Amino acid sequence: MAAWLHGDQMLKHYYDGTLQSNKVRVVSEKGIVAKAEIGEAATITVEIDDPAGTLDFVGYKTWRMDEDACPVGSRTVWRGYVGNQVIGRGDDDLVHGTARRWTLTLHEDNGLLARRLLISDAANRPAETVSARLAWLLTQPGFSGLIFDHGLIESSTVQMDPANYHGRRGADVLRDLSLVSGYNHYVRYREASTDVELAFYDPDVSPLDVSTLRISNVSTDIDLATTWPADMAVELERSPSRIGSGVHVSYSGGSQYVSRAATEAAFAAVDQDTPSAAVKTRSAALALASRLLDQHDEQDERIPTVRIRLPAAKLNDVRQGQRIRARLSHLPGWTSFRAARVVSKASSRPENLSQDVYDVDLELSPAAALIVQSVSARVGDAGQLTLTLGSPVAAGNLLVVVARKRNLNSSGGLPETANVGSLIGRAVNFTVWGLADIRAGDAFGPDRMKVMYAVAVGDEQTLVVGANKLQYTLYELSGASTAGVQTLSLSSQGASSSKSLGSFSGGSVLQIGGFLWDAGALDQTVGSGWTQDDQTNDLTTGAHPGTLAMHATTRPAVAISGGSYEWGGVAVAFP
């Protein structure tokens, strides 16, 4: 049992807003635990010595823990409320008179989500979007004036069937919303506004709620400022329990079964059953089944515990729910910095050490790579292309380039090197993932595309490439790993209005790619699920090739359509 004293030390305990001057011991096995997964509430246990027999604690009153070593405005490390109370003699010197000891079970604020019943007529909800139903919920008792939207709620246009929540609880509504949308939800105390905020977003691809802290077990990464060493015992767990090649969804009046051959071929024929009170129609059941097949096409991967030791002043540099980057050189898929969500955080003071440091155990669930920023540019015969990103680049992030060039044999080729700031600046060497050509028989050489990457040092906000007739799109990616990247490419395909590279196998969430075609016409449309980042042609003549760069986060087929021309393309998918 982890136990240590807090009272007049740096960690302060507040009951119903009042500082506790008596000694408080946290006796939960994992210390101070906070969770951020589908509204699950952590419980912890504290003991309070009451030698004079004058204290009193009652259920549902707030309990808050503040670490004074943290910066002002970021001192609260845990907040919840009192549950069961056990009063006894205790031991040691508490053995006579009115002396007693309180043992309190404390529940994290996530428990607020289930505290009140929904009893208004408006609880009988019509068909509406996820966002509309959540907006209504925030106006109901137990939410209005207690739980707020402070920017951690993402919109969702997914349609919800009608549902009657009369006599049910807010937690029931949020579970339905999370099931249908694929979003996670949790609450967390917000010190800036002294209230509780609701988080509701896609944990894989959302850019919200990011920690400034990184974790690594590679010594050259560690600076004890933003990057902290991971303990050597960290393990990766993979479980097939989430695999579903088939999904059965029950709804009012029937059920729907949908299967996916690719998942069955990769693993085995395994079915998942998902009854949901929120699904009333066949169309909603089919939509949910399709999303669940996407979600259940790979094994569940977790790092159950990675321990870092933080100074007390840094304890809130990472919080439950936040997106964090970790590099764990001995684990597959984690050999370069990768994004993850903090599913839970447990803080405790190491044995025989002062309170100036904490052992922090984090449970991590992998998240998708994110595009932090991007920029596109092109150049004619000038022989020098300059790209400047809107913000400085973070060291350790991945730089990905979709590079296209007319007439490969003209000055400079399609370089795999850029320079920082100017052509005489530090060289950045890119590694090629894939390439494609068109017009291979042209006397001046083919038109070519490459998708390349480099790991950022941090000075690459402006890059200069020494070649002409170039079209470049530069992306900065956070949390992307180079391990396990998939590549699709095709060169010199016959003239066609529909141009497709096919599809990536399961497990990828972020894809980046590009196409080029034998015409200067800018008449191509990206396929469903893709976002176009650039579409351009030769700057000098407005002639061939037409090119574009694009990205996606939903694993769609890699395709564009438009005018019928010879074409080629390259795309990569990140694990």
Give tens-digit pLDDT for 369-397: 889 999 999 998 877 899 999 999 988 89
Calpha distance 411→354 (Å, rounded): 64
| Nearest residue to 255 via CA among 278, 291, 281, 292 | 281
Q: What is the DSSP-derived secondary structure letter of residue 3?
A: -
Q: Tell me what pLDDT residue 92 has.
A: 63
Say yes or no to pLDDT of 166 above 80. yes
Neighbours of 295 (CB within 10 A): 15
Q: How far is CA 162 from CA 127, 178, 252, 276, in A?
A: 4, 16, 11, 12
Q: What is the DSSP-derived secondary structure letter of residue 41?
A: P
pTM for this predicted structure: 0.83
Tokens 């972020």 — which residue?
510
Calpha distance 283→253 (Å, rounded): 12
Inter-residue contact 412 to 469 (CB < 8 Å): no
Inter-residue contact 212 to 226 (CB < 8 Å): yes
Inter-residue contact 369 to 325 (CB < 8 Å): no
Calpha distance 202→178 (Å, rounded): 9
Calpha distance 310→69 (Å, rounded): 12
Task: Give the β-pairing of 470-478 and 370-379.
Answer: antiparallel
Going by pLDDT thresholds of 50, 70 and 90, the confidence category of residue 277 is: low
Region 312-328: what's the mean pLDDT?
Answer: 95
Relative orientation angle of helices 170-181 and 130-137, to the nearest 10 degrees: 160
More confident residue, 248 or 95: 248
Least-confidence region, from 290-299, 321-330, 422-431: 290-299
Q: Tell me what pLDDT residue 355 has.
A: 62
- Point out which residues pair with 210 in neighbouring strands: 323
Q: Tell me what pLDDT residue 297 has.
A: 73
| Nearest residue to 202 via CA among 152, 165, 238, 248 | 152
Say yes or no to pLDDT of 488 above 80. yes
Q: Tell me what pLDDT residue 241 has.
A: 80
Going by pLDDT thresholds of 50, 70 and 90, the confidence category of residue 495 is: very high
Give tens-digit pLDDT for 329-363: 999 888 888 889 999 999 998 776 666 899 999 99
DSSP string for residues in 291-309:
HHHHHTSS-EEEEEEEEEE
Going by pLDDT thresholds of 50, 70 and 90, the confidence category of residue 7 is: very low
Neighbours of 474 (CB within 10 A): 23
Task: Tell me what the pLDDT averaged over the chain comes to.
Answer: 90
Q: Tell me what pLDDT residue 167 has.
A: 95
* H or E element in which residue 173 lies: helix 170-181
DSSP string for residues in 458-518:
S--SEEEE--SSEEEEEEEEES--STT-EEEEEEEEEEEEEEEEE-PPTT--EEEEEEEES
Give tens-digit pLDDT for 15-40: 999 999 888 989 988 899 999 999 99
DSSP string for residues in 405-434:
ESSTTSTT-S-SEEEESSTTS-EEEPEEEE
Residues with Cβ within 8 Å of residue 150, at least 6 apart in sequence: 190, 193, 197
Give tens-digit pLDDT for 114-158: 999 999 999 999 999 999 999 999 999 999 999 999 999 999 999
Going by pLDDT thresholds of 50, 70 and 90, the confidence category of residue 5 is: very low
| Signed CA dihedral, 317, 322, 323, 325: sign only | positive
Q: Summarize the chain as % helix, strand, coil (round to 5).
A: 10, 45, 45
Inter-residue contact 74 to 53 (CB < 8 Å): no
User: Residue 289 in 3-state DSSP?
Assistant: helix
Residue 243 tokens read as 């695999």
